[in-house]
Structure 1
Amino acid sequence: MKQIKKAVIPLDLASLGSGEGDSKSWQVQVQLPAPIGTDDMAVPAGETLDLQVLAVAISEGVSISVSGCALAKGECVRCLEPVEEAIEFSLSRIYYYPDELAHLLNEVSDDSSVYADLDESYQVCPDSRVDLEPLLIDAIVPQIPYSVLCSPDCLGLCPDCGIALAHAEAGHHHEKIDPRWSALSGLFDQEGEKNA
């Protein structure tokens, strides 16, 4: 089993009772060290999130629930205009004790259909801390729109000049000459100059 990495967004569980069913809730503020989202839209690094966290002791570890809201920022995939969207998120996951996780991972190697969603990021560190970052990633990313649009009927960009069609004048278009006839495009101008 890999060595436990230092928690990126730590939560100290020392005040949580050790008896099964013991619970504790927190209102915490965290600052994101890295953006969470997709290439098109994400909650930016440095953003401060107000979280509601509930931890419940269970025999295998601690069940942790997190909920909150965030402002995701990105750009429209059609016209590249900036887009902001408020998202709400909520998710619960089990953080396993290291010995329990090692035991479960051994079972997975014997039968891949058992505990197929095990992740070493979800474990209780020896100092009674857990890392909320993987939980926040799993909670926030599914709330990001699959296709980021400034509006459902966004017209996108003009393929010829690149202007956003929403800001272009009515009837915006460009004269196009069939490339097979482009050599003849100046023929009439030359004829007119000869006759002048």
Structure 2
Amino acid sequence: MATHANAGRHRGPRSPLVINISRLGRRPGSMMTHRETVPSPVRIGVELIAIEAGAPLELDLRLESVSEGVLVTGTVAAPTVGECARCLTPVTGDIEIDLTELFAYPDSATDETTDSDEMGRVIDDTVDLEQPIVDAVGLALPFSPLCGPDCAGLCQQCGVPLATAEPGHHHEQLDPRWAKLATLLPTDDGDQHQA
């Protein structure tokens, strides 16, 4: 009994980023649009900033049948949340990515000549946009997001965000090489410390 290599791939609830293309057909030039807002199935981004799981992803896509597969083009937009890399305050924003991805038809020349990790595949009349979106968002988001271009960061001594600290915020710091000598200096009341 022959089994399909990808049988059972979409068990359980299907990702909202898996799009049914059965009405598109395989005739080159056939086209359909797909405009929908769906919840992000996973957290998409980098360590300090991302699209959170469940956040609304606005898909504005065009799917076109070409000789070797389905070409998906369009935009994906979503809100982002994270923290400033310098002062750790929360940062929010929006991201919009341009998507251009070819999904190979089963048994096409493209399917046979490319590795599965190089290009997506049309599986059971669906295309799965999750990995292309994850890749594009990861490249578009800043690795070190900032709350503002002039963020001063945190005080190295006490950890207070310098943007909210009082003007002139600083700490007296004695070079550790001179610390022993400081104990020999007179105090305000004129006493001298003994080492």
Query: TM-score, normalised to structure 2's length?
Result: 0.83
**Separation of aligned partners in 1, 2:119 and 2:19:** 14
Q: Which residue pairs with 1:192 in the alignment?
A: 191
Residue 112 (structure 1) aligns with: none
Q: Note the 1:3-152 alignment, pairs <5 A.
A: 3-4=5-6, 5-6=9-10, 8=15, 9-100=17-108, 101-105=110-114, 119=117, 122-125=120-123, 127-152=124-149
Q: Partner letter of residue 78 of structure 2?
A: A
Q: Judging changes above 3 Å, is the alpha-carbon distance between structure 1 residues 178 and 120 closer, same or farther for their aligned structure 2 residues?
A: closer
Residue identity opposite 1:139 in structure 2: A
Contact 1:121/1:134 (<8 A) preserved: no
Deviations 1:82-108 (A, max 9, x none): 111112222111000232344113xx7
CA–CA distance in 2 between the matches of 1:61 and 1:52?
Answer: 20
Cα RMSD for the two superposed structures: 2.3
Does residue 1:156 correspond to 2:165, yes or no? Answer: no
Per-residue CA deviation, residues 121-175 of structure 1 (Å, 9 max, x unaligned), is 61100x2011111222233223212431111011001111110011111111111
Query: Is the Cα–Cα contact under 8 Å of residues 44 and 51 in structure 2 kept in the other structure?
Result: yes
CA spacing shift, 1:152–1:158, aligned 2, 3 Å? same
Unmatched tracts of structure 2, length 5 or more: none
Contact 2:86 2:151 in 1 (8 A): yes
Identity value in percent: 38
Q: Deviation above 4 Å: which 4+ runs of structure 1?
A: none
In the superposition, the TM-score normalised over structure 1's length comes to 0.82
Distance in 2 between residues matched to 1:28 and 1:77, nearest whole Å? 33
Shift of 1:193: 6.6
SS of residue in 2 equivalent to 1:160: coil
Structure 1: gaps spanning 5 or more residues:
109-117
The 2-side partners of 1:134 and 1:165 are apart by 39
Say how many residue pairs are matched: 181
Task: Please identify which structure carries the higher helix content.
Answer: 1
* Cα gap change, 1:76 to 1:47, in 2 (>3 Å): same
The residue correspondences of 1:158-177 to structure 2 (distance < 5 A) are 158-177=155-174
SS in structure 1 of the partner of residue 29 of structure 2: coil
Quote the Cα distance in structure 2 between the aligned partners of 1:73 and 1:104: 40
- Structure 1 residues 102 and 63, CA gap change in structure 2 (3 angstroms): closer
Q: Which residue identity is paired with 1:192?
A: D
